[in-house]
Structure 1
Amino acid sequence: MEILENLAIELELSVSIIDFLEDKNFHYPKQEQTVELEKTLRSLLDPPFDHQAEMIDDKINIYRIRSLEEQEQNSWVMIPIKVNHILAGKIVVWEKGKELGYFDLLALRVTLAILVYTFGQIYYMNSKEAHFHDDFIREILLEESDKEKLLKNAKNLSWDVRNKYVCISFKQINNQIQLEDHRDLIGAITGRFFPKKETPLGLLDGVIIIFQPADETTSQLNNEELAKKCSKLIAALEKEIPNAIIMGGIGRSIDAFYRIKKSYNESMKTLEIGHLLYPDRKLHFYKDLGPFGLFNLEAFKEEVGHVFESISPVLQQEDKDELINTLKIYLESKCNYNLAAKRLYIHHNTVRYRIAKIQQLCQLDLEDSIERLKLEIILKLEKHLDE
């Protein structure tokens, strides 16, 4: 890229461009572009090392990242390239001990103006090509989809149907936000983490759907990497879409592309149930649901009165919230009064009194392991009582 070369020569420093739209990195001098350099570039987006960030120009958000870990402290100057308020890329100047001066920053501003125009053209072309494949993904998820037709269409879109795939779904749970209103932004952000050439992407009925190629062998390490990537996507979406609250669900890998609906259904069930089991998490794997993966939440909502019948006398008490919370903590504490009391910050006799009251009201036998299991399941789903 001639623009990059001219800037590097002007600054007498190495310069890189991170291109989010095309998922590429450019560097000058070219001979320095190694695998290690690529890793460093990606790490600068969310530095894992001890560092200090310094704002240089808050008008166009030029800032410096200074490493505090190495003896020879490295520093990089970062300049965001934004098109239509969407982060399309970043300029990275490798200072290598030489901090930029006034005329260097002037050269950067001129280069930025040129790159904004260039990236604007790329963004326009990408918009024409579309980040999303809604129609095809909808076709895949239909019951009556024709296998041969799906495989042909997938090949036409250059998707490798020989891969295993896993479906990842993201849902926005703030009812005041409609993801459809942010379609272009979502496409651009998602492309930073899931390259569109490899990863089919859809936005259907307010749900972001990603078909991620899966490794031949699933491992804890691979799951951790996928979780890290998904968590970064959630954080980026929430940062750039005001007031958005994003949850993610990951199905299991499927060995045949045309059968990915199974993984999709698992990802959607994970979205439904995962936050009930683990309310503090934003991302869940289907495998984390365990036997809850067999649970039908819609059927539960229809039969909610019957499900809560066993504890309905407690729900009629004035102190029902205290009683329900005490029962929940007591069961989580393996029926240990002292542990439950510590977690509730109350005297253990108070716990004993409340549990005895619950048992008397509901005729519960908490010595029965099956009875306890049923209660734990009910209390996990208790949030849906008022729905």
Structure 2
Amino acid sequence: MITLREIMNMPCLSRAQVIAGASGIDRHVSSVTVTDVPDFYQWLRGNEFILTTGFAFQGNAESLVKSIPFLKEANVSGLGIKFNRYLTQLPDTVATVADELGVPIISIPYECSWTDIINPIMTEIINLQAAQLERSNHIRKQLIEQVLGHGGLLEIARLLVNFVQNPVAIIDLASNQLFSSYSNMPILTGTDPVSGLYLPGKDEALTVIQEIPKISRIRGSNPRVIVPIEALHTKTGYIVLLEKNRPFCPEDIIPLEQATIVAALEIEKMEEHRKAKRNLRHNLLRQMFEDDSFSYNMAKMSFQEVGWELGEHYVVTAIDIHIEPKNPAHPMRSIWEIKEYILRNFSRLFTSGVIIGLDGGQRLIVLHPINLERNTNAELDLFTKELKSKLSYLLKEMGQETAFLNIGTGRFHEGYKGIHIAYKEAIQALTIGLRIFGQDHITHFSELGLYRIFHHEAIRSELELFFQEMLNPLISNQKENKELLETLRVFLETGGNYRLTAKKLFLHHNTVRYRIESVEKLCNVDLKNDNDRLNLAISLKLLPLFKTADDPFV
């Protein structure tokens, strides 16, 4: 794009002079327009060189002063004024504001016609645009040929160096891989070698150079330019230009823009290969969990074929995701899209020893390797919390902060056979935890207590019958008996102590006595009887397992 400084050197403006706002002389110019109305700034698009006779401002210097900030905000390239017709000179107040804001004001010779100015400038702009288009097509052709010739992201990066004259790296976010044309890409202290390139460090500052396509610059000891690679509104990678040989310049935009398009296609192709491998991995996990004849040696060999190294000792975690749309401004992704995103990006947040896949119920299953010498409950709890934190980070990247992560973890069991047991426990912890604690909770199998027995399928129908017989008189009339149920729960927890129950519920102890008597009449029990108290206590424990979505007791 041509600048105002370059236009001032053209023959058509050889006698024009910059009389104010000279600091903005290097603004880009995309068009030339003529206006003589006072509120012309309402219809500006940016980068215009505006010509005027000053008719709108004759005798009203104040209106010209007020228009300068609007020109700045509209990103106008400059204002050319013909003096000696309506304005004899530029008021000092206007010059002062123009100098402060860097809005160039040009004195145009009176005898110059608008056509003699506009035509040469627009011809130059169109010629430059045609040249840029030709260069863009040439670059795109070379990049496409590189990809069609089975060149990957590394070859794209090396080819891009020829156009930008600086080292280039292309980052694939899903695999957290760096494809660099330069062997000495900086490794920033205290950061991941890959993310440290596209994220600003502690003593660095990031500024946006351009919005479309979005180009940012990180200033510091390793100045670099960052361009995101996107596919279907999802960020899949970055192109990083290291300003080693020369500073970034506007001519670099076209090759970078074309490279992001081709790199996005290449990353998508790589992702399809990874997706096929993930499907094979999912099938292997399901076989390991469901097929007793699938031995450790068979599993180890099969895992190696898909790039996994199977150890012997693991803790198993099961994860499910629930979405509740809360902000209509953010589009809701499908559960499948979210899980796919997690599977694609999991490796850049966890070590290679951690295994993730989908089981037959389409739940995310994570196998975390265990060192027998350091196997402690505290370490397992720490990993589970770290897992949730990092998965939440991936959800945030997708703009899905309202999604709930429900997590169940099995106990540790030694050896390959122990993985199968731990998997069943993780599924049970996930399922029961969701019923007991609700959404967005981490449930450890070791915390389930009696619920491990209560949830057993073989006794479920008998338990439900027992639950209905004991509590149905209370739960059948939900609105009226909610207070009775809560009072009963606290009364049993306090060992049948009326005064302590009253204190916990902020009630008078006579109110507690009245409610307990009401419970005894409704349920036909005697709470002084140990068996009746035990039966009701068990029934209350069963409440989360048999509750309904509209249950007010939940």
Q: Is the TM-score greater than 0.5?
A: yes
Equivalent residue, structure 2, for 1:361: 522
Equivalent residue, structure 2, for 1:274: 433
Greater relative contact order (Cα < 8 A, sep 6+): 1
Cα displacement (A) at 1:262: 0.8
Equivalent residue, structure 2, for 1:337: 502
Is the deviation greater in 3-12 or in 15-24? 3-12
Do the aligned partners of 1:86 and 1:185 also contact (CA within 8 Å) in 2? Answer: no
Cα displacement (A) at 1:247: 2.1
Do the aligned partners of 2:169 and 2:178 also contact (CA within 8 Å) in 1? Answer: yes
| Helix, strand or coil at the partner of 1:271 | helix
| Helix, strand or coil at the partner of 1:32 | coil
Q: Following the alignment from structure 2 to structure 1, what is the Cα–Cα distance between the partners of residues 380 and 299?
A: 28
Distance change in 2, residues 1:273/1:129 (3 Å): closer
Equivalent residue for 1:139, pick from 284, 287, 295: 287
Q: Following the alignment from structure 1 to structure 2, what is the Cα–Cα distance between the partners of residues 163 and 308?
A: 45
Do the aligned partners of 2:277 and 2:306 also contact (CA within 8 Å) in 1? Answer: no
Paired residue type of 1:223:
D
Paired residue type of 2:519:
I
1:140-194 deviations in Å (ceiling 9; x for gaps): 1225324243344234445434341222222345799975577754532444445
Is the deviation greater in 362-371 or in 154-163? 362-371
Taking structure 1 as the reference length, the TM-score comes to 0.70
| Helix, strand or coil at the partner of 1:37 | coil
1:30 partnered with 2:184:
yes
Distance change in 2, residues 1:9/1:260 (3 Å): same
1:264-285 deviations in Å (ceiling 9; x for gaps): 1011101111123322533322
Paired residue type of 1:324:
L
Q: Following the alignment from structure 2 to structure 1, what is the Cα–Cα distance between the partners of residues 399 and 161?
A: 34
Equivalent residue for 1:211, pick from 353, 367, 385: 367
1:315 partnered with 2:480:
no
Q: Following the alignment from structure 2 to structure 1, what is the Cα–Cα distance between the partners of residues 405 and 287?
A: 25
Q: Following the alignment from structure 1 to structure 2, what is the Cα–Cα distance between the partners of residues 379 and 163?
A: 39
Equivalent residue for 2:314, pick from 165, 177, 180: 165
Equivalent residue, structure 1, for 2:343: 187
Equivalent residue, structure 2, for 1:236: 394
Cα displacement (A) at 1:127: 3.0
1:381 partnered with 2:538:
no
1:226 partnered with 2:389:
no
Distance change in 2, residues 1:126/1:306 (3 Å): same
Q: Following the alignment from structure 1 to structure 2, what is the Cα–Cα distance between the partners of residues 3 and 215?
A: 42
| Helix, strand or coil at the partner of 1:260 | helix
Where do residues 97-176 of structure 1 align in structure 2 (5 Å cutoff)? 109=257, 111-130=259-278, 132-147=280-295, 148-172=297-321
Q: Following the alignment from structure 1 to structure 2, what is the Cα–Cα distance between the partners of residues 366 and 111?
A: 80
| Helix, strand or coil at the partner of 1:206 | coil
Consecutive unaligned residues in structure 1, runs of 5 or more: 67-71, 342-346
Do the aligned partners of 1:237 and 1:244 also contact (CA within 8 Å) in 2? Answer: yes
Cα displacement (A) at 1:133: 1.5
Identity rate of aligned residues, in percent?
A: 20
Paired residue type of 2:383:
E
Distance change in 2, residues 1:177/1:271 (3 Å): farther
Do the aligned partners of 2:404 and 2:440 also contact (CA within 8 Å) in 1? Answer: no
1:252 partnered with 2:411:
yes
Equivalent residue, structure 2, for 1:41: 195
Equivalent residue for 2:452, pick from 275, 281, 293: 293
Distance change in 2, residues 1:173/1:198 (3 Å): closer
| Helix, strand or coil at the partner of 2:318 | strand
Do the aligned partners of 2:487 and 2:501 also contact (CA within 8 Å) in 1? Answer: no
Do the aligned partners of 2:470 and 2:535 also contact (CA within 8 Å) in 1? Answer: no
1:25-67 deviations in Å (ceiling 9; x for gaps): 568773632672218938998x9x9xx998776656667999x
Is the deviation greater in 305-314 or in 196-205? 196-205
**Alignment size in residue pairs:** 372
Paired residue type of 1:115:
A
Q: Following the alignment from structure 1 to structure 2, what is the Cα–Cα distance between the partners of residues 320 and 351?
A: 14
Taking structure 2 as the reference length, the TM-score comes to 0.52
Cα displacement (A) at 1:305: 2.3
- Aligned-residue CA RMSD in angstroms? 5.1
| Helix, strand or coil at the partner of 1:252 | coil
